[in-house]
Structure 1
Amino acid sequence: MKVLFLLITVGHSLSDTFGFSVSRLDSPEQCQNRITHFKGYYVLGGEPAAIQCPTFSYLQMQYSDLSESSQDLVWSRNYSENFNVGEESRIQAKEDLLWFFPTKKEDTGTYSCILRNSSFCLEVTVHFNVMALTEVTLADIAYGQITVEQHSFQMNCPDMGAFTRTHTDVNLRWLKDGNLLSNDGKKYEVLDGSTHIHIKDVNKEDEGYYTCEYTFTHDNKEYSVSRIISLQVIAQEKRDHPIIVQPSHKTIAASIGSKLTIPCKVFTGFGGSNLIVWWLANGTYINEIFEDGRVTEGSFQETKESDGIYIEVTLFFENVSEEDFSTDFKCIASNDYGTEVLPTQIRQAASPFSWYLAAVPAILICLIVAIISICKYRKSSDKKQYSLAKY
């Protein structure tokens, strides 16, 4: 909680004085406040994508709260690597978004959004994964959504705000398991001008993978972006059984020394089930194993959404330590109807110098081969000159 309090306090103090411009990192200077964002991006190669700078959410601020001046919102890749960002580039920085038109496999990496003024600097890191669509990667790319059978359900096309915020003519194509859905109003009803589809009288057969596709024009070129949704239908008798929906990936990458927050978000139907949520580390309560307060557990936060009630308990890391990579973290949710456990593993993020380490052996081998070739050439040349001298 100390981490959150610090960022909220700083956020309020900056809201009136901190303006910015968008740029890339030219001379990397390490921020005194570094956070690894728990949510990674998993996107399809060849499609446009946008990374939203999460720094503002940690400061409880909006992009629009900042006044225009000479301060910087800076992007870097793989902690220190410069990359081409500009109006004419495939990668463009606009407001609080880093755009890719479109993504390529080599875009996979770690991106840092850095907000700084003369006295303060906050760096938030996100992991960006460009993937090909296969059966193996489908679970990583898909967004999970939950509903209860014998009810109507309004499915949302997730993470589309960056694409639709400047467009009023939002019309999506919806598919299930690769087949175009009929908008006849009987089973499915596509809500024009929105990112939703209405599914009537949900049953188990409605489970599966749904795809929503949006086509738009950017710089006189047409692009299509899609989202894949994995719909889980809960039987009536299990409607109040707890289901952990976040973290959506069981492995989270973080760098040593950075701050980290991992929310455990639990779907609990429509309430009234005495739900409790807690974290364990190697089978021990967080406050018992981390007596120094380096890792703490947040308080209950309840939110009501269209499909039911969610409870969230967040795990806060003041600074990630090497021991965390070998610690077995678990989020546990339990109520009157059952218990669910989600193991979570923290792995070390790739070092910004990892490609150097991989390249050094190859460079040495090439150097040795070149030296041997030069030596052989010189010996051969000397022999020829000696033969000519004899005649």
Structure 2
Amino acid sequence: MLILCVLVTGVSAFTTPPTEFTKSASNCRFRGRDFKSEFRLEGEPVVLKCPLVPHSDASTSPHTPLLTWSKLDSSQLIPGDEPRMWMEDDVLWVVPAVPQDSGTYLCTLRNASHCEQMSVELKVFEDTEATLPLVSYLQILAVSATGWLVCPDLREFIPSKSDGKIQWYKGSILLDKGNQKFLSAGDPTRLLIANTSMEDAGYYRCVVTFTHKGKEYNVTRSIELRVKRTTTESIPVIISPLETIPASLGSRLIVPCKVFLGTGTPSNTIVWWMANSTFISTAYPRGRVTEGLHQ
């Protein structure tokens, strides 16, 4: 029996606490650095969230835990005398941020019997073309498809998405969401791109206005859009032979095999025959049965 075969080949968040942490609060359990660093622009509002709050076991204590913030290079608690900084629930606000605010921030959650800490990294950059790759969120869409761009991390600045007003830019050009290319679908934090093309790749910005004490600030999120071509790997299909082949004793027999490989013939596709689960060259070492050339 001859059988035709086809083959297609084809930095940890929980690190050792810095010595500065252990010196300042040796009785606290250091839970490591938050996996997400905050990269923000100078002159804009910044919020730092304490990663301990949703994961801490201290909430089960009968006593309300105390949450405090401090900076690695300072022994003073935040906000202290800094009017640009204040706490609201588990969030540390910095309005507006300056490059000197960059650094490691430590949030401490404690009560009478429990204390734990985690650190959060903040880096504040000038709004220049050189820093654009550093502050951008990477998002990927497929070519010839319709997809969304999402303006991230705006929860504290837009309590209700129905009330949020966001302006979208590609580079420095304000996008008209009323045209057939860039569409608005009710949620201002999403930009719908119809029939995505390779030319749509690039840097986008979404900007929301935030008002604090009567003064307006821009909150900017930069997005790097990469458009990728979709690749489909075709599955080889044996077209023939699919049925038993009759033959006469002593006659010469040629059995062509046809395999559909898709629109192209991948170089990593191999087609071969086997006889009784053995390669032809092994089953017929004297060459009475041989395989022909691939076409």
The two structures share one fold, judged by TM-score above 0.5: yes
Question: Are 2:100 and 1:103 aligned?
Answer: no
- Alignment partner, residue 50 of structure 1: 47
Cα separation, 2, equivalents of 1:106 and 1:116: 28
One-letter code of the match for 2:25? E
Q: Closer, same or farther in 2 for the Cα pair 1:55/1:228, shift >3 Å?
A: same
Secondary structure at 2:231 match in 1: helix
**Which of residues 23, 26, 39 in structure 1 aligns to 2:36?**
39
Cα separation, 1, equivalents of 2:100 and 2:62: 33
The structural deviation recorded for 1:139 is 1.2
> 1:205-216 to 2 correspondence within 5 Å?
205-216=199-210
Question: Are 2:118 and 1:121 aligned?
Answer: no
Q: Closer, same or farther in 2 for the Cα pair 1:67/1:204, shift >3 Å?
A: farther
- Does the 8 Å CA contact 1:171/1:193 hold for their aligned counterparts? no
- Alignment partner, residue 224 of structure 1: 218
Cα separation, 2, equivalents of 1:35 and 1:79: 17
Q: Closer, same or farther in 2 for the Cα pair 1:152/1:50, shift >3 Å?
A: same
The structural deviation recorded for 1:34 is 3.1
- Alignment partner, residue 202 of structure 1: 196
Secondary structure at 2:53 match in 1: helix
Question: Are 2:25 and 1:29 aligned?
Answer: yes
- Does the 8 Å CA contact 2:162/2:186 hold for their aligned counterparts? no
One-letter code of the match for 2:116? L
Cα separation, 1, equivalents of 2:78 and 2:119: 19
Question: Are 2:133 and 1:139 aligned?
Answer: yes
Q: Closer, same or farther in 2 for the Cα pair 1:69/1:211, shift >3 Å?
A: same
CA offsets, 1:306-345, max 9 Å, x none? xxxxxxxxxxxxxxxxxxxxxxxxxxxxxxxxxxxxxxxx
Comparing 162-171 with 35-44, greater Cα deviation is found at 162-171
Cα separation, 1, equivalents of 2:148 and 2:81: 37
Larger relative contact order, structure 1 or 2 (CA cutoff 8 Å, min sep 6):
2
> 1:1-391 to 2 correspondence within 5 Å?
28-30=24-26, 31-59=28-56, 70-78=64-72, 80-82=74-76, 84-85=78-79, 89-165=83-159, 168-237=162-231
Cα separation, 1, equivalents of 2:88 and 2:130: 33
One-letter code of the match for 1:29? A
Q: Closer, same or farther in 2 for the Cα pair 1:232/1:110, shift >3 Å?
A: same
- Structure 1: gaps of 5 or more residues: 5-26, 241-391
Q: Closer, same or farther in 2 for the Cα pair 1:204/1:97, shift >3 Å?
A: same
Cα separation, 2, equivalents of 1:226 and 1:95: 23
CA offsets, 1:159-215, max 9 Å, x none? 111211267520100000110001124011134453111110001111000000001
Cα separation, 2, equivalents of 1:178 and 1:60: 46
One-letter code of the match for 2:109? L
- Alignment partner, residue 288 of structure 2: none
Secondary structure at 1:111 match in 2: strand
Q: Closer, same or farther in 2 for the Cα pair 1:186/1:129, shift >3 Å?
A: same
Q: Closer, same or farther in 2 for the Cα pair 1:60/1:115, shift >3 Å?
A: closer
Cα separation, 2, equivalents of 1:149 and 1:136: 28
Give the total of aligned pairs.
Answer: 214
The structural deviation recorded for 1:135 is 3.0
Secondary structure at 1:140 match in 2: helix
Cα separation, 1, equivalents of 2:214 and 2:227: 41
Cα separation, 2, equivalents of 1:223 and 1:68: 40
- Does the 8 Å CA contact 1:79/1:112 hold for their aligned counterparts? no
One-letter code of the match for 1:48? P
Larger Rg: 2
The structural deviation recorded for 1:103 is 0.3
Cα separation, 1, equivalents of 2:134 and 2:53: 26
CA offsets, 1:20-62, max 9 Å, x none? xxxxxxx94231233111221110000111111111344489x
Q: Closer, same or farther in 2 for the Cα pair 1:182/1:168, shift >3 Å?
A: closer
Q: Closer, same or farther in 2 for the Cα pair 1:87/1:212, shift >3 Å?
A: farther
CA offsets, 1:93-136, max 9 Å, x none? 10111111100111111101111122222211011001012233
Cα separation, 2, equivalents of 1:206 and 1:78: 42
One-letter code of the match for 2:128? T
One-letter code of the match for 2:196? V
Cα separation, 1, equivalents of 2:66 and 2:73: 17
- Structure 2: gaps of 5 or more residues: 1-12, 15-22, 234-295
Cα separation, 1, equivalents of 2:229 and 2:180: 22
Q: Closer, same or farther in 2 for the Cα pair 1:161/1:98, shift >3 Å?
A: same
Cα separation, 2, equivalents of 1:236 and 1:57: 38
Cα separation, 1, equivalents of 2:131 and 2:111: 40
Matched residues, percent identical?
33
Secondary structure at 1:164 match in 2: coil
One-letter code of the match for 1:201? N
